[in-house]
Amino acid sequence: MALSFQIESHDGAARCGRLLTPHGEVLTPCFMPVGTRASVKGVTPEQLKAAGATILLANTYHLALRPGDEIIRDLGGLHQFMGWDGPILTDSGGFQVFSLADLRRITDEGVIFRSHIDGQLLELTPAKAVRIQENLGSDIAMCLDECPPADADTIKLRDAVRRTIVWASQCREAHRRADQALLAIVQGGLDLVLRQECAEQMIRMDFPGYALGGFSVGEKPEQMHAVLPQCAAFLPINKPRYLMGVGRPEDIIIAVMAGIDMFDCVLPTRNGRNASAFTRSGTLRLRNASHRRDPRPLEDDCPCYACRRFSRAYLHHLFQVDEMLGPTLLSIHNITYYLRLMAALRDAIQTQRLSSFRQDWFRDAVVSQDP
Amino acid sequence: MALSFQIESHDGAARCGRLLTPHGEVLTPCFMPVGTRASVKGVTPEQLKAAGATILLANTYHLALRPGDEIIRDLGGLHQFMGWDGPILTDSGGFQVFSLADLRRITDEGVIFRSHIDGQLLELTPAKAVRIQENLGSDIAMCLDECPPADADTIKLRDAVRRTIVWASQCREAHRRADQALLAIVQGGLDLVLRQECAEQMIRMDFPGYALGGFSVGEKPEQMHAVLPQCAAFLPINKPRYLMGVGRPEDIIIAVMAGIDMFDCVLPTRNGRNASAFTRSGTLRLRNASHRRDPRPLEDDCPCYACRRFSRAYLHHLFQVDEMLGPTLLSIHNITYYLRLMAALRDAIQTQRLSSFRQDWFRDAVVSQDP
């Protein structure tokens, strides 16, 4: 059994648990920093550990194109390759095929697309998505899914759900590695009937965990918030639930209250590179001249390396003169911010204070702007 | 006394010593990584410490333009600003005025130039160079000097020496901080008569240390190597000697044998950003496809973070996909390489094996190419 999950406490629908993987334990609800191309941009594995990261996400699509999954396999797998000895989750590549690549043809057998790197014509099938992830050797792999945009009509949405179920079955069939867990992805957009149908079909196949895909694809955050509690409730209570690619801190809080256990998002690193820092009192734009002489850290009580050692004035200077250290330090802070939020959420669940935590958070925070 | 220097062992003209500054001790011969704009590009102070750095260099010209030396003073000085609690040396700004800026007028009073950032007309005088460095609060400051290019004729060279002496006297006059040492710079190009004259005048003013400027300005390395032993011998034996802006590992070895104690150079970080790694068996170009599947570290016996954790294949991948971590990891390795070279040189001096160390080094090494 590559993945075990124990729930240790509840607060409403929210739960605190432990995810045990071949590369160690992860406390849930958890946040996975994104190492798209086998590197969390600008941050070393050592700095990630120090920031409190316990599990990372890497992208199958990007790694299959460069350097290639067989090279990573031959070099001892993704953990060895990227110097990260903790758990890793890989996505299936489906999301990137549908968002980055030049799509050519989708059938029940798979999808043919042109690489966004060199225009090469490539095919991704359920079996191939599994084989690539087995080559990468992640602890948690994902089934290939079809992820339609938020404005897809019901016919398109229904077709994507049907195909995602067919593909999940084929992925399950192809999956071999005993030291890797394969999770299913539930699609269906904002249509709760479709979400439920999809969830039921996936549950019938008995996966060790279930993800909600097809959010953060263009819908309004409030639309997602509205359907999350029911979408989560369609999933087994004793298995980990993963909300893919979400999101802003406020989205994560709402999703945790709906019963979600796992999250990933590029916001902490992307915003960090763009000189934007998350803080409990709102977003700080470090390029703003108001920081020019400010001796304060980004956040007084933040234990991260950037806050312990450097002033807002210094970070402002780094971005003014385009020093690489600016993006690195802000990424470290933002990842720390997300991981501290997760720890605070776990603490609130354990002490049955999640509802008041949420109230305090939304009262105090200048809710961060939509990226 | 802001700077004390004890020589602990000799081997020929080479010496091993201890430089004591207000921010700690430095073993010499030493190498100073360059933090031009108050950041060693892509490397945190924590990573610099781990790589073995004990003293850094920062550039007065760059910092006076952005963020401004008064801002740094008001924020508690350069150490506090850049999060480095060890010794810092600042140059005088002269070298950059003569190489980067649009020069307008040089007189014995100072130099008028246009900023390379925004075209603003600015003046740098000896007193102003000292005031800026006092605002920065470095442990070691440098006198303003005129640094002519290698192809300057004798008249130009003689004039630069005369003016550098006048300016040194004015700098000495202006200097106030008791917790900062002000070092003189000897000019004179490849003309040993001029070098000796300049050295004698500077020594008469009794500085706590002396630098050789005007090398690495376009002459052939062999021309510098030829005059270094005499140039060093013109300087007091009991004071630290600093060869500014030099250089490649082979230049440093030759200069240490000539009796030089201190070095700085941008090569480790600049080459690191350009995917070029120093190793004992020659330069590795990490973009080269030959590294694509190579599981070996850059150097088997290197204790740096890049070598302990990552393969050449991974570093190759990072540069192929333009991940920031590539420049960071290679800069860490290259700085470690330089600092290990300095430690090996100190050891060879202490054990009277410098001559054989040099022979082994030049026999084994594929001498690194001229940058």
For the residues of B293-346, what is the DSSP string, one character each?
T--S-SSTT--SHHHHH--HHHHHHHHHTT-THHHHHHHHHHHHHHHHHHHHHH
Report the sign of the C-alpha dihedral through residues A240, A241, A244, A249, in that order: negative
Q: Is residue B369 part of a domain?
A: no
The Cα of A13 is separated from the nearest Cα of chain B by a number of Å equal to 40
| Enclosing domain of residue B307 | 266-364
Same-domain status, A196 and A61: yes
**Beta bridge partners of residue B15, listed in sequence order:** B10
Give the pLDDT of residue A295.
98
- Please indicate whether residue A45 or residue B117 has the higher confidence score (pLDDT): A45
Same-domain status, B273 and B226: no
pLDDT tens per residue, range A1-51: 799 999 999 999 999 999 999 999 999 999 999 999 999 999 999 999 999
Two tokens, residue B335: 């700085």
Same-domain status, B254 and B305: no
Average pLDDT of span B9-15:
98
Residue B310 has pLDDT above 50, yes or no: yes
- Please indicate whether residue A103 or residue A45 has the higher confidence score (pLDDT): A45
Same-domain status, B66 and B40: yes
Q: Is residue B80 part of a domain?
A: yes
**B contact set with A (CB within 8 A):** 37-39, 41-46, 62, 66-67, 71, 74-76, 81-83, 292-293, 295, 305, 309-311, 313-314, 316-318, 320-321, 323-325, 327-329
Q: Is A50 exposed, middle or buried (0-12, 13-18, 19+ CB in 10 A)?
A: middle
Residues 6+ apart with CB under 8 A from A330: A271, A272, A273, A275, A276, A277, A286, A306, A315
Residue B43 has pLDDT above 70, yes or no: yes
Report the sign of the C-alpha dihedral through residues A237, A238, A244, A250, in that order: positive
Given an 8 Å threshold on Cβ–Cβ distance, is A75 in contact with B295? yes
Residue B367 has pLDDT above 90, yes or no: no
Residue A236 has pLDDT above 60, yes or no: yes
Q: Mark which of A233, A265, A297 sits at the end of a domain.
A: A265
Q: Is residue A231 part of a domain?
A: yes
End-to-end CA distance of chain A: 39
Give the pLDDT of residue B69.
98
What whole-number distance in Å separates Cα of residue A158 and Cα of residue A146? 11
When pLDDT is cut at 50, 70 and 90, the band that residue B74 belongs to is very high
Give the pLDDT of residue B366.
57
Residue B369 has pLDDT above 90, yes or no: no
Tell me the chain A residues in contact with residue B307 when contact means C-beta distances shorter than 8 Å.
none
Kind and range of the H or E run holding B157: helix B154-174
Tell me the chain B residues in contact with residue A82 when contact means C-beta distances shorter than 8 Å.
314
Longest CA pairwise span in chain B (Å): 61
Write down the pTM of the prediction: 0.97
**CATH number for the domain harbouring residue B75:** 3.20.20.105
**Total domain count, chain B:** 2
* Residue of A70, A288, A296, A317 to mutate when probing chain B, most B C-beta within 10 A: A317
Tell me the chain A residues in contact with residue B328 when contact means C-beta distances shorter than 8 Å.
42, 44, 324, 328
Half-sphere exposure of B59 (CA within 13 A, CB side): 23
Give the pLDDT of residue A1.
72
Residue whose C-alpha is closest to residue A262's, from A336, A209, A218: A209
End-to-end CA distance of chain B: 39
Q: Is residue B160 part of a domain?
A: yes
Q: Is residue B247 part of a domain?
A: yes
Give the pLDDT of residue A371.
38
A vs B, Cβ pairs < 8 A, gives 106
Portion of chain A with pLDDT greater than 90, in percent: 92
When pLDDT is cut at 50, 70 and 90, the band that residue B99 belongs to is confident
Given an 8 Å threshold on Cβ–Cβ distance, is A317 in contact with B45? no
Please count the other Cβ atoms lying within 10 Å of the Cβ belonging to residue B119. Answer: 10
Can you tell me whether residue A135 is helix, strand or coil? Answer: helix
Tell me the chain B residues in contact with residue A295 when contact means C-beta distances shorter than 8 Å.
75-76
pLDDT tens per residue, range A49-72: 999 999 999 999 999 999 999 999
Backbone φ and ψ for A350, nearest 5 degrees, come out as -60, -30
Q: Is residue B306 part of a domain?
A: yes
Please count the other Cβ atoms lying within 10 Å of the Cβ belonging to residue A359. Answer: 11
Residue A98 has pLDDT above 90, yes or no: no
pLDDT tens per residue, range A150-168: 999 999 999 999 999 999 9
Q: Is A193 exposed, middle or buried (0-12, 13-18, 19+ CB in 10 A)?
A: exposed
Q: Are B316 and B325 in contact (CB under 8 A)?
A: no
Average pLDDT of span B328-336:
98
The Cα of A308 is separated from the nearest Cα of chain B by a number of Å equal to 9
Same-domain status, B211 and B344: no
Same-domain status, B256 and B331: no
What whole-number distance in Å separates Cα of residue A49 and Cα of residue B30? 32
Q: Are A127 and A92 in contact (CB under 8 A)?
A: no
Residue whose C-alpha is closest to residue B345's, from B277, B254, B223: B254
Q: Mark which of A265, A289, A308 sits at the end of a domain.
A: A265
Q: Is residue A256 part of a domain?
A: yes
Backbone φ and ψ for B125, nearest 5 degrees, come out as -115, 165
* Residue of A46, A269, A288, A321 to mutate when probing chain B, most B C-beta within 10 A: A321
Residue A126 has pLDDT above 80, yes or no: yes
When pLDDT is cut at 50, 70 and 90, the band that residue B101 belongs to is confident
pLDDT tens per residue, range A174-227: 999 999 999 999 999 999 999 999 999 999 999 999 999 999 999 999 999 999
Using the CB atoms, write b or e for B286-303: b if 16+ within 10 Å.
Answer: beeeebebbeebbbeebe
Same-domain status, B222 and B316: no
Q: Is residue A58 part of a domain?
A: yes
pLDDT tens per residue, range A285-330: 999 999 999 999 999 999 999 999 999 999 999 999 999 999 999 9
pLDDT tens per residue, range B153-163: 999 999 999 99
Give the pLDDT of residue A262.
98
Average pLDDT of span B245-258:
97
Same-domain status, B156 and B260: yes
Average pLDDT of span A69-93:
97
Residue A366 has pLDDT above 80, yes or no: no
- B370 DSSP assignment: P
Same-domain status, B42 and B136: yes
Half-sphere exposure of B277 (CA within 13 A, CB side): 29
Residue A370 has pLDDT above 50, yes or no: no
Can you tell me whether residue A37 is helix, strand or coil? Answer: coil
Residue whose C-alpha is closest to residue B64's, from B126, B9, B124, B147: B124
* Residue of B321, B331, B333 to mutate when probing chain A, most A C-beta within 10 A: B321
Residues of B labelled catalytic? 91, 264
Length of chain A: 371
Residues of A labelled catalytic? 91, 264
Residue B365 has pLDDT above 80, yes or no: no
Mean pLDDT of chain A: 96
Two tokens, residue A33: 């920093």
What is the DSSP code string of A329-366?
HHHHHHHHHHHHHHHHHHHHHHTT-HHHHHHHHHHHS-
- B67 DSSP assignment: T
Q: Are B148 and B157 in contact (CB under 8 A)?
A: yes
The Cα of A315 is separated from the nearest Cα of chain B by a number of Å equal to 9
Same-domain status, B189 and B270: no
Same-domain status, A249 and A352: no
Q: Are B14 and B354 in contact (CB under 8 A)?
A: yes
Q: Is B115 exposed, middle or buried (0-12, 13-18, 19+ CB in 10 A)?
A: middle
Q: Mark which of B239, B265, B291 sits at the end of a domain.
A: B265
What whole-number distance in Å separates Cα of residue B79 and Cα of residue B222? 37
Same-domain status, B359 and B233: no
Mean pLDDT of chain B: 96
Residue B370 has pLDDT above 60, yes or no: no
